[in-house]
Structures are given as C-alpha cells and as structure tokens.
Chains A and B, each alone.
Chain A
Amino acid sequence: MSEPLLRVKDLVKHFAIKGGVFSRQTDRVHAVDHVSFDIAAGETLGLVGESGCGKSTTGRCILRLIEPTAGEIWFEGRNVTALDRGALRALCRDMQIIFQDPFASLNPRMTVGAIISEALTIHKLAKSRREFTDRVVQLLETVGLDADHMRRYPHEFSGGQRQRIGIARALAVEPKLIVCDEPVSALDVSIQAQVINLLEDLQERFSLTYLFIAHDLSVVEHISTRVAVMYLGRVVEIASARNLYTSPRHPYTEALLSAVPIPDPEVKRQRIMLQGDVPNPIRPPSGCRFHTRCPIRKLPLCSQQIPELKEGPKGHWVACHLRS
C-alpha cells in the first residue's frame, strides 16, 4: 500500500465571530470539524455535500489559502501545515486550485495571457521572452482556446471559456494535485460536459490528481474514483463512486441520492424526504450532527455520541452508530 499523495488528518477550521466594542470573539462557526481522508496519486476524490457542509473550506485549507485551526495536511510525505512562507510558495508548484465563479476568478484588468502566465512570472519558470510566449500559447491550446486569445480580456469570453482560462492558469505550474472547487456549477449543462471532458483528458495526459468539490451528485459520480460525503463539517461516508451510489450506507447519503432529480420520467423512485433545514453551524447539534433530521435515529445514543468514521468492506467508510 503506497503512500497517498495527499493525507488530511483531523482537519479543523473554526471561524471566529467577533462582536462587541473591542471585537472580541463571541462565537465560532464550526466550518470543518475533524475531517480526515487520503487521496492516492492519479485518482479523483469527489467531495460532496450541501451548502454549509465545509467542503469548500476544506479545499482551501489544503492549499492553506485559509489557515487551518488544527489538524495536519501531508503532501508527498511533507507536512504542509508546518511549512513556512518560503516553503509554502514552493508548494504552489505542486498544488493548484480552480474556482467556481468564472466571472470573479479572473482579474478583469489583466489580459488572458498575463493571467495564465502569472505563475511563470512569479516562479521565474521561463528563461526568455520567447519561451514565455510559447508556454502561454501551449497552455491556451491545451485547454482548447486559440493563441490569439492571449491579448484579449476576460469580459470578452463566455463562462465556459473563462473556466478554461482558469484551468490553463492552474496548469501553468505543472501541478500534481488540483483542487477543483465547484468548477462546473456556474456553467450551462452543455458547457459542463465540455469542461468535464477537458478535465478528464487533462488528468490522463498530465497524470493529475483531483479533489473534486461539488454539490451536483451526478457530476461527482461521473468524474470521481472515490467520493466523500460531508455534512455540517464532518465526513459521514467515503466509498468508491460505484459503491456509494449503488449501495449507500449513511442515512444522509441515502436521502441525498434520492433527492437528485433524474432526467428520465420513466424512472420511479422512493424519495426519502428530510424534514427541516440544515442546522446552524454556529451551534451544531450534539452527538451525531445529522440526528436532528435522521429518519433512522435512535435516541439517546445518536444525540450524545459523535460516531467515528469506521472502515467497512471494500474500503467503504461510514460514520454512523447504526450502520457501520
């Protein structure tokens, strides 16, 4: 069993809420609470959950765009959480990120060429002007754009094209791991397919590893090798994509899967309706976070004890007192 490319151990991120005259901390948002998972080289780990579950925060903590409150992140055997500024900058060459909003993730006042090549400038990766331009052209063509798009500005492109620019930017440093934070959620369905195909092609061509964060379960299932499900800051289930979708074990996963509308009127399903809304992450429920909405909960156990993520057969992990 070889060393995983990325190992996240007990990651915690709490956001302080400040109040009062002296901005003292009055409360905390428990965004990410003891999250652990591994990603092997070359695979795609899908991270799903609804809004407020902490998946985007997790992704950003891995790159230390947000500083974790506690926990460890290991990349290729190096402790990312302990690195200083300088070493962290070097790490940018190994881990990159693609953002959700194709409109906000590109600087409107920079040309496309400048956006894509910024990494080359920062890390001094091109030795001559010629090499610089060649690399930019190469990146543009890799993501399916034209060389003469270099001189244009982001507002001249459609959403799908901007997302490609964002991908080219991430590829400039030749990273090993790319955190994809909802990369297709803001795109039209027909464009989504284009970008998903592009991501798959790039993964094969450049031996990339993806952490694919999304709320769209269909997309995640399609592109991921394994999938982790998060709820209110905790991981509740991890399994291979096929196993998760054919035989989910956590009640939240079951409900989530049954809620996804299927584009086929012939398919009749039994919907598991969850009552109520997602609880407030400032005051999460005691014990199992899902117990307030869980259709199979058993009190008082579920409201008192936090279930541990336990491994089952075929690498299928579940955090549930009743199902593991």
Chain B
Amino acid sequence: MGALLEIRGLKTHFATDDGMVQAVDGVDLIVDRGETLGVVGESGCGKTVTALSVLKLIAMPPGRIVEGQILWQGRDLVPLGGRDLDLIRSKEIAIVFQEPMTSLNPVYTVGEQIAEVLRRHEGLGRRAAREKTIEMLRLVQIPNAERRVGDYPHQFSGGMRQRVMIAMALSCSPQLLIADEPTTALDVTIQAQILELLQDLKSRLGMAVMLITHAMGVVAETAQRVVVMYAGKVVEEAPVRQLFARPLHPYTRGLIRSMPRIDRAATRKTRLEAIGGVVPSLLAPPPGCRFAPRCRFAAAICREAVPPLREIEGGHRVACALAETIPQ
C-alpha cells in the first residue's frame, strides 16, 4: 500500500542578501490516502515552504529545491516541469492559502475563476463549466449559489471567500488538498464553520488533507496524524492522540504547556510555561540539534550531531537523542 504523497529528505534553500537560508533542511513526510495530516510549527519552521515545494510554487530563484524527492503516487515531482506539473496541479493536488482576500483575482467574478479551472483541467465547455461551478458553490454551502456565481470577490466576506477558494480547489476532485493556514485570518466562529466544512468535504470526496497550521487546537480537532516542525526539520511525528497524551520531544512539550486552556477555567490558574529564547537563524543554524539552545534537557550529545528521526513506539517518531530519558 503506497502512500499518496511521500516527501523524502527535502531541502529547499533560499538565496538572500545575507546568505543561504536553509528554510527546509531534510524533511521526511508521508500522507496516506484519505487521512488528515496536520503539519504544525511556528513561523520560520518551514511548514509553508514544504507545502509550496510540493507543487513547486516557490519562486526559483531565489528558492531552490536543493535535494530530496517528492513522490506522488510513486512518481517524483521534483524533476517535473511545465506541462507535466500543470497536469498534477489542481487536478490531483490542490492548495488553499491563508489569505482569501489576496488569493482571488479582484477583477474577475468568482464564477469565472472557478470555471477557468474547470475548463482548463477538465476540458468542460462553457455551459457545463458554469453548472459545475454552481454545484461547487452549493457544495461549500454558499447560499444563493446561482446568484452569487456572478459576484466579485470583494462582495464576499472573509469566510465566504475562503469557501470560494475551497470550491475552486476541489472543483477537479483532487486526491490531496493542501491547506496552508486556511483559517488563521478568520474569526473563531467562522473558523469553526470552515473546519467543519473541510471535514465534511473530506469524508464525502474521500480525499486526503495536509493541514498546515500553527494552532495546536486546530490540529487536535481535525488531524489524525501530526508532524511537528522546528527550524526547517521535523522533530516529532505521531498519531494525534499519542502526540498530545505523551509528547516526546521537548519542543512539542514546551509548545503544549505554553498554551492557555479555556477548558481548564474552573481549576486554579497556573503560570504558563514559556519556552525561553528565540528561533535560531536559518542562515547559520547551530550544529547539532536545532532546539538545543532553548532546551532545558540539552546535553553535550545534543550539540554534536543532528539527531535523526527515529521510531520510539508504534507510529511515534522523534528527533531527539534523549527522548527516552526525559521524564514526563
């Protein structure tokens, strides 16, 4: 049983004025059919760059996929270009971005934008494309779809625009949807609507979702497996329940403990456990484990070599030399 998407040893670097930024430095990732993989991490960890690398949406220059393979159903996407890549984009792998305001072209109606995708990739004629467009808008629960199909993006609210984006992404029934911070720019009640919509569509269309976010709460509610990234590398990977019940990597633990919890409002308020320091520079990352400078448990071995991602228990992998010895 092959994985749907397998990323092996991906390294994407950017040439900047100050030097080579190693934004993604050796990332391994698997997305299985029909599952929701949550990719979690803070800014600068490389999660967005990883997602954009899959569809080669990175500006190259200054970016470059230096090393690694991106296997889509066994086929490596890295050497692909032009037409071959176009066939995969939208039709097999679709992507939804964070800012619905800037992702939609303001001078075309939403109907035209969705229809363009359909005509291009599915070869539908004008009437068929329009009908399918209205069907897609209904699928994402936009009321009055027949009328709204002729509206411009600025006539929709933020949440509605994100639904339009999702409709566009799903119009060709892709097998994988990459959602890059799809709800970060939205209000929390709208976020709840969109996340529920994504869950609903996922089960209806049987597609896999790679959900990229910095919000652990979102991941806890929607993902089945979680990958935690830090400073361009994967530091932990586990099924969602296991990750939250027994986080093994000190960074993951620190992250979970530093979040205030509203479901514990009734209990006594305790001080948040903050992770001291800042994210290291990706220009000249520290040798050894990148989290070591901020890690409470760091030992000499941690600063010597980058710890490999190894399996501790079923499906739970950690990149930490001291994972077994750290008390819970």
Contact = CB atoms under 8 A, between A and B. Distances in A.
> In their complex, do chains A and B touch, with some C-beta pair under 8 Å?
yes
Interface of A: 50-51, 158, 160-161, 188-194, 196-197, 200, 215, 217-219, 221-223, 241-242, 245-246, 255-267, 271, 273-274, 277-278
B271 interface: yes
B190 to A, nearest CB: 7
Contact of B189 (A50, A196, A221, A266): A50
B241 interface: yes
Q: Helix, strand, loop or mixed for chain B's interface?
A: helix
A269 to B, nearest CB: 8
Given A222-B269, A261-B220, A265-B221, A193 B262 contact: no
Contacts of A271: 192, 196
B132 to A, nearest CB: 25
B272 A222 contact: yes
Contacts of B273: 193
Contacts of B219: 263
A190 B255 contact: yes
Name, among B189, B215, B216, B241, the residue most crowded by chain A CB atoms within 10 Å (CB to CB). B189
A193 B274 contact: yes
Contact of A273 (B187, B193, B215, B216): B193
Given A50-B187, A261-B218, 5 more contacts: A193-B258, A196-B274, A256-B188, A262-B221, A263-B220
Nearest to A263: B216
B59 interface: no
B275 interface: yes
Name, among B188, B215, B221, the residue most crowded by chain A CB atoms within 10 Å (CB to CB). B188
Interface string B2-33: 00000000000000000000000000000000
Interface residues of B, number: 46
A258 B193 CA distance: 12
A260 B160 CA distance: 19
A192 B258 contact: yes
Nearest to A255: B189
A263 B253 CA distance: 12
Top 10 A-B pairs, shortest CB-CB distance: A261-B217, A222-B260, A245-B265, A193-B258, A193-B274, A259-B192, A50-B187, A188-B42, A263-B216, A193-B272
Interface in B285-313: none
Interface string B248-280: 000000111011111101100101111110110
B287 to A, nearest CB: 22
A273 B195 CA distance: 11
B262 A245 contact: yes
A219 B260 contact: yes
A222 B269 CA distance: 7
B191 interface: yes
Given A190-B258, A222-B272, A261-B221, A217 B157 contact: no
B65 to A, nearest CB: 26
A182 to B, nearest CB: 13
A188 B272 contact: no
Nearest to B192: A259
Contacts of A265: 220-221, 240-241, 244
